[in-house]
Structure 1
Amino acid sequence: MTDRSVSRGRSNRRRTRWAAACAGLALSLTGALQGQATAAVPDVPTPPRPPGRILDVPVAVAEGLLDPEASPAGANDWSCRPTRKHPRPVVLLHGSAANAVANWSMLSPWLKQQGYCVFAPNYGGTPGSPFQATGPIAKSAREVAGYVDRVLKATGARQVDLVGHSQGGGPTPRWYLRFEGGTNPAHPKRNKVRSLIALAPSNHGGSVSGIGTLTTKLGLNPTMSALVGQAWSDQMPGSEMNQKLDRDGDTQPGVRYTVIATRFDEFATPYTNNFLTPGPGATVRNILIQDICPQDISEHLSLAYDTNAAQLVRNALDPAHAQPVRCGLSLPVLGG
């Protein structure tokens, strides 16, 4: 057996032990959280999973490490055709150093059950790596542009809705909308994107609870980017990328923007950097999830596995049929 094979075997065994440990922790917490479900509300669609079922969070993360090329359940059915009720496919864009299956194993199957055509690419990283969306934002946006064109061609739809987390809800789709053909400012009805719905987006950079501020002041961002990818430097407040992206305003005409932020964000900090200011021809709804569900203590990572946030996503996708949010407890890292 070669040294490389031995190393790969040891790495796989470490990943397996890590996944088992996460599953054990989640199992112990699941029992403690049972019974947190709110009382049933007539005629209101149920959240994507019963509150308290948190095992799927570490399982999804483990799958994203062990099988990063997998699609989340419900996603990437290229034979799917949009319906009159849901005429636009939904494209899910993961966050930095994540991948589609790790980020979207809750929301993707739930949206599919609602009748949407759902697509979830990996982008911005080396194929086969579990750590995607680490490259330059501009390059990631070009990859998203090509993927959206493929979705439109396959489905026959005129527009898509984008739902993104972290980088995938902030600078990458906004760069695509502004610089890579996602919108047509002169003729907004020809936009390829109708809505951008963002969970904890790093719209105006994130200081990572002050770590990024320190690396910026010390001139260490190039070193950090050499270690973890150019997306680190690009997403620092005041970066060259952010300055170019924000120079002519936050929004594009004809796009509906929804931002869902959490007070407990530890990456896209301060959390107010998530929010957008509407420009001509665009609408923006900035939501702090604790204003909707005060008991929600999700932070940056768990917002993608937060059933309260998922209901807000559903309402933003179909505002004409928006429903009251059935608030439940959602925990840091684990969601709920």
Structure 2
Amino acid sequence: MPFNDRNFKPEHPTPVLYIHGINSRTAAFESNAQTLREQGFWVWGYDYGDMIAPGFFGAGDLNSIVGDVEEHVDRVLRKTGAKQVDIVAHSQGALMTKLFIARGGAEKVRRVVAMGGNFHGTDFRGLAGQMGEVASRHPHFTALFAPGAAQQLAGSAWLREFASGPDTAPGIVYTSIYSPADTVVTPASASMLEAGPGADVANIDSGRWYDGYAPLHALMPRDPLYADLTVWGLLREVGKHVPPRFPD
């Protein structure tokens, strides 16, 4: 595995921390992280949240999970001696990154690259309302198995209370990559960041820029084009929002 090698000699000074999505794990990013490592990035990642099944993490109440993210950022800073991290996040991990930054973590983050990020709550192909009603009728079941999933549904009370603030923080460079074939985080606007004062944002629809290229939501962390776009997001010039053409 390419992660957490304390003996690695990086070519880029800022370590990269991966933050996976719900019911996932850091290993989902292995091929993406290997691409970064080969280009001199120091890659780190830890599973977070509760384990809902063997090898599948990221479950639990989202307010608690933000604490896990803070702990992992501090761990990487401590082990590397760096002052900031770059964050690469998928799905729920992108929302957790947004909340971590909003709750005092901004000074610890240089850049963010998100893929399929659920920044604004998913309507889950129009089913969010029905799913929310089920969650409200069976709160004990939801709290036991998937409170974070219910919290991320568009229109949820949790989103209104905790995630309705600004998408960005001054001084951070953001790149959000998303796919028109994503059927988990919908609509595409849920993955688009609105740049606040002092932040630089590139929203990249891979279907628009790459001839309809549209990986499914779960495949984004291991997709080769998304790995190349991750590198671009970590290195792009501030103010440059048009992604490059990559060789076939």
Question: So what's the TM-score if we normalise by structure 2?
Answer: 0.90
Structure 1 segment 165-204 matched on structure 2, within 5 A: 165-169=90-94, 171-179=95-103, 181-183=104-106, 191-204=107-120
Distance 1:156 1:127 in 2: 33
Q: 1:281 to 1:320 in 2, by over 3 A?
A: closer
Structure 1 unaligned runs (5+)? 1-72, 184-190, 329-336
Query: Deviations for 1:97-141, whole angstroms, at most 9, x for unmatched residues?
Result: 00111x112111111111111001100114984221111112111
**Aligned residue pairs, count:** 244
Question: Which residue of 2 is the match for residue 319 of structure 1?
Answer: 236
Q: 1:307 to 1:137 in 2, by over 3 A?
A: same
Question: Which residue of 1 is the match for residue 124 of structure 2?
Answer: 208
Structure 2 unaligned runs (5+)? none
Larger Rg: 1
Q: Does 1:301 align with 2:218?
A: yes
Structure 1 segment 209-288 matched on structure 2, within 5 A: 209-218=125-134, 219-220=136-137, 222=139, 225-226=142-143, 228-288=145-205
Distance 2:19 2:9 in 1: 20
Distance 1:130 1:109 in 2: 20
Contact between 1:199 and 1:259, CA under 8 Å: does it hold in 2?
A: yes
Among residues 2, 5, 19, which one is paired with 1:93 in the alignment? Answer: 19
Contact between 1:290 and 1:296, CA under 8 Å: does it hold in 2?
A: yes
Aligned AA (1:88):
T
Contact between 1:254 and 1:282, CA under 8 Å: does it hold in 2?
A: yes
Q: 1:291 to 1:223 in 2, by over 3 A?
A: farther
Deviation (angstroms), 1:297: 2.7
Contact between 1:182 and 1:193, CA under 8 Å: does it hold in 2?
A: yes
Question: What is the DSSP-based 3-state SS (H/G/I as helix, E as strand, rest coil) of the residue aligned with 2:87?
Answer: strand
Distance 1:127 1:93 in 2: 17
Distance 1:247 1:266 in 2: 22
Contact between 2:14 and 2:84, CA under 8 Å: does it hold in 1?
A: yes
Identity, % of aligned pairs? 30
* Range moving further from structure 2, 232-241 or 266-275: 232-241
Deviation (angstroms), 1:310: 1.4
Distance 1:289 1:204 in 2: 19
Structure 1 residue ranges (4+ consecutive) displaced by more than 6 angstroms after TM superposition? none
Question: Which residue of 2 is the match for residue 135 of structure 1?
Answer: 60
CA RMSD, 1 decimal: 2.2
Q: 1:264 to 1:127 in 2, by over 3 A?
A: closer
Question: Which residue of 1 is the match for residue 83 of structure 2?
Answer: 158
Q: 1:211 to 1:286 in 2, by over 3 A?
A: same
Question: So what's the TM-score if we normalise by structure 1?
Answer: 0.67
Query: Deviations for 1:13-34, whole angstroms, at most 9, x for unmatched residues?
Result: xxxxxxxxxxxxxxxxxxxxxx
Greater relative contact order, per chain length (Cα 8 Å cut-off, separation 6+): 2
Deviation (angstroms), 1:201: 0.5
Query: Deviations for 1:261-288, whole angstroms, at most 9, x for unmatched residues?
Result: 1111111111211111111111111111
Q: 1:221 to 1:255 in 2, by over 3 A?
A: farther
Aligned AA (2:244):
P
